[in-house]
Chains A and B, each alone.
Chain A
Amino acid sequence: MARVLVYYAHPGHKHSHVNRVMARAARAIKRITFVDLYAEYPRFGIDCDREQLLLLEHDVIVFQFPMFWYSTPSLIKEWEDIVLEHGFAYGAGGDKLEGKRMLLAITAAGPSEAYTTDGYQHFPMRTFLTPLEQTARLCRMSFASPYVLYGSLQAPDAGLVEPHVEGYVQLLEAIRDDRYDFEASGTDVTVGFDSLPIREEV
């Protein structure tokens, strides 16, 4: 069994259509740890010691957030600045996160076609995520293919919220129960609810 830690960050929680439902579903999953970062640190006073302890107690660190300006909401960045200390997460003696996994669960407003060299976002999704990918690498963690919902603003009308949330739950449960095939997807792709590499049995 893998110990899963979900960090959820959404400053506009109450206006959310997808992330809020995802968060509620994730919170209800048994035997995983769920942290609503903005509820935990409404005044950005992140407690470094507590967060590092939490990281040490888990194997898979999931960040769930909506894409803001091709990056994370600002509290996640603050969290990185404070928690991923030299000597803890990287650098000399910084091996405490070695062997753990990082997984991103992202919603993006643009459609998947936009995230191509010809699309209006001009770069593939994975290009925008390279800072996080490299952060994981520097911390000797492996970076899994992100679980992405494109076109999130249209998702409620398109009936995509329910399958995406359902997929998210299956994904988290599969990781917890060691049924998730982290190696199945490539290094340059993202996965959606219809392409989850979940094994049937352990």
Chain B
Amino acid sequence: MAEILLLAFLFLIAGVVAVPIASRLGLGSVLGYLLAGIALSPLLTKLGVDVESIQHFAEFGVVMMLFLVGLELEPKMLWEMRARLLGLGGLQVTITAALITGGATLFVDEWSYALTIGLVFALSSTAIVLQTLNEKGLMKSDGGQAGFSVLLFQDIAVIPMLAFIPLLALPELADIAQFFNSVDPSSEAAGGSDGGMSLVEGLPGWQRALVTIGAIAFVVVGGSVLTRPLFRFIAIARLRELFTAVALMGVVGIALLMTLVGLSPALGTFLAGVVLANSEYRHELESDIHPFKGLLLGLFFITVGAAINFDLLFSNLGLVVALTFGVIAIKAAVLYGLSHVFAIRGADRWLFTLGLAQAGEFGFVLINFAVTQKVLPDPAANPLSSLLLLVVAFSMLLTPALFIAFDKLIAPRFANAQTRDADDIDEKGSVIIAGHGRFGGIVNRIISSAGFKTVVLDYQSDQLDVLRAFGIKVFFGDATRPDMLHAAGIEEASMLVIAIDDKEQATELVRHVRGNHPHVYVVVRAVDRRHVYELWAAGARDIIRENFDGAVRAGRSALEALGMHAYDAERQTRGFVVHDQKQMRDLADVYDPDIPVHENPAYVERTKAFIDSYADVMRGNSAAFGARIDRAWQPPTLAVPESPSPRCSATSAA
């Protein structure tokens, strides 16, 4: 027990110390984790920790990441990506593999070694690249999207590669390879097809295909059919952690199923993510899985850093560095060439070229797998596979540096080319609407009918069912939770409309958003006058009293029915609104949430002054607001002659 705690503590403290420092220095979190791993590695060796097995465990973070990626990607978008996915991704993998295989034949004598090496280095690091793109907010850029297409294709391509590599085994070793095939302990987590347990082992090909297709169908159909009743069922318990448990259960279950039928768990969860991308539980799932993914990926990067064999590295430093730069150069050249064919331009071209030039975590998996399959020589006899692992790790270690090069050297050159006509930017970040009741619903209809993108969150399951029946898209989730706001995209949002019923929660939400996301404009519904002051004190400036407009209209309607001319009634109520808002603002300035209003001398004094001004109106005193609205239409003869108009404060102010 103490060992596990010690290990967990070591990994956590390394991450907690290294990542903020790396972020502060502009290196990004990935490099921070890698450096933490390097720093930890002597200690781990001393403790006799099996870093490799921890790495296999941590690879589950990649699975979770692909689930989250799938959640962001609706099936329609995936279909629209097909040209790039197959064309760009397919060409990248084939050309890179061919070139590197060709290059490798100069160094190794067996063509099967060379081909394996080609396959290993055709892959890039989904984990590092997606993490970095998200961190830098480049995911939605053209270069980011192209990179994502290629990474997705690579993740899928791992599956046939794992099937293909055993065929490369030398004929005399084939029997042994067959033997190891069934006992291979490694690579369950990320893409391993031949784990210990299997549903398809020993089945004839057609049955195997049938089971596989059945499993995929189960994920797709189950994802779209089962989620809703399941979430509604657990909503009964009203426990936060149950949602997390269900989300984890889903991801782990799908990964397990995929492993059992010999498919990539990453691919399976990605598929499940895509299926759920249209569901109203998308943001809830996202915020539940997100912390786990982050921690596991962090652990994964730490193990990459820790697994670097420094003895071997230093004894072959020149060779490793040369090979690493060679690989990066070849991969970058292929990517750069493809970016021309697929019309990726400007800064995006360089993002795409430099971003994907490293080898990836699947490289570790493939190398280990190839060794156990006797496709690559045993590390004890021949350091080839250890050297390859070093090159993969080293190229991953260099990736943050390539991104920094992009940020500092390339992006600034293209920055000016993208300035747009300031007046024509109608497309801004989305609007998050918290609460879709009678109030939030109308706000949503107005905003979305004007063509703005809205993300609506509501926490009432039954309300969601009603809305879905009318084709209104609302996500399930509690907007007062920071992680939920994050999942709904508060970082990119330009506005938050708070229309939730609970007064205190609304105020708290205002305080949180003003403090943590000052770029977000907040429109908030106030329940009553006191609530207005609390919201004002919390930093809200666009506060809408929920009953005010209705009451004003009722007042105006009453005036008309009392015989007042409709236009006079309009101006009368308009004057009232102006006056009332001024009073509200003046009182909000002196309101102190910690002191009851009647014990707040400034508040009492101002209120009295306003009450007096109302009394003036009652007595017909022209200095009050009622007179101002009639001013413009008084015939000149009624105005006071010889001196400036006494009612015009502007004149006296001048």
Using a CB–CB distance below 8 Å, which chain A residues touch chain B? 20, 24, 45, 48-50, 52-53, 56, 81-82, 85-88, 91-93, 96
Contact (Cβ within 8 A) A96 B654: yes
Q: Contact: B636 with A88, CB < 8 Å?
A: no
Measured between beta carbons, the chain B residues less than 8 angstroms from A85 are: 631-632, 639, 645, 648
| B640 touches A (CB below 8 Å) | yes
* B320 CB to nearest chain A CB (Å): 56
Having A88-B645, A88-B648, one finds 13 other A-B pairs with CB under 8 Å, namely A20-B423, A45-B578, A48-B628, A48-B631, A48-B632, A50-B650, A56-B654, A86-B639, A87-B639, A91-B639, A92-B641, A93-B642, A93-B644
- Contact pattern, B 617-654, Cβ under 8 Å of A = 1, otherwise 0: 00000000000100111101001111111001111011
Q: Is B574 an interface residue (CB 8 A)?
A: yes
Measured CB to CB, the nearest residue on chain B to A83 is B632
* A49 (CB) vs chain B CBs: closest residue: B650
Q: 7 closest Cβ contacts across the A-B interface?
A: A52-B650, A86-B636, A87-B645, A92-B641, A82-B632, A53-B650, A56-B654
Residues of A within 8 A of B649 (CB): 49
- The size class of the interface chain B forms with chain A is 20 to 34
Q: Contact between B650 and A87 (Cβ–Cβ < 8 Å)?
A: no
Tell me which of A20, A52, A56, A91 contacts B636 (CB under 8 A).
A91
Contacts of A20 in B (CB 8 A): 423
Residue of A24, A56, A81, A93 with most partner-chain B CB within 10 A: A93
Most B C-beta atoms less than 10 A away, residue of A24, A52, A85: A85
Q: Is the CB of A24 within 8 A of B423?
A: yes
Instruction: Give the interface centre of B423, B649, B650 by most chain A CB atoms within 10 Å.
Output: B650
Most chain A CB within a 10 A radius of its CB, from B643, B644, B649: B644
Secondary structure call for the B interface: helix
Given A45-B574, A91-B636, A52-B641 contact (CB < 8 Å): no
Separation of A119 and B387 alpha carbons in the complex (Å): 89
> Which residues of A are found within 8 Å of B653, using beta-carbon distances?
53
CB pair A96 B632 closer than 8 Å:
no
Is the Cβ of A88 less than 8 Å from the Cβ of B644? yes
Query: In this complex, what residue of A is CB-closest to B574?
Result: A45
Chain A hits for B639, CB < 8 A: 85-87, 91-92
Q: How far is the CA of A49 from the CA of B650 in the complex (A)?
A: 5
| A to B CB contacts below 8 Å, 30 in the list | A24-B422, A24-B423, A45-B578, A48-B628, A48-B632, A49-B649, A50-B650, A52-B648, A52-B651, A53-B654, A56-B650, A56-B654, A81-B633, A82-B632, A85-B631, A85-B648, A86-B634, A86-B636, A86-B645, A87-B636, A87-B640, A87-B644, A87-B651, A88-B645, A88-B648, A92-B639, A93-B641, A93-B643, A96-B644, A96-B654
In the bound assembly, the distance between CA atoms of A88 and B639 in angstroms comes to 11
Residues of chain B within 8 A of A88, CB atoms compared: 644-645, 648, 650-651
For A52, what are the chain B residues with a Cβ–Cβ distance below 8 Å? 648, 650-651
Min CB gap B628→A, angstroms: 7
Complexed CA–CA distance, A103 and B645 (Å): 27
Q: How far is the CB of B286 from chain A (nearest CB, A)?
A: 36
A56 to B649, CA, bound (A): 12
Chain B residue contacts of A56, Cβ below 8 A:
650, 654
For residue A76, give the distance in angstroms from its CB to the closest CB of chain B.
15
Residues of B within 8 A of A91 (CB): 636, 639
Closest A-chain residue to B646, C-beta based? A87
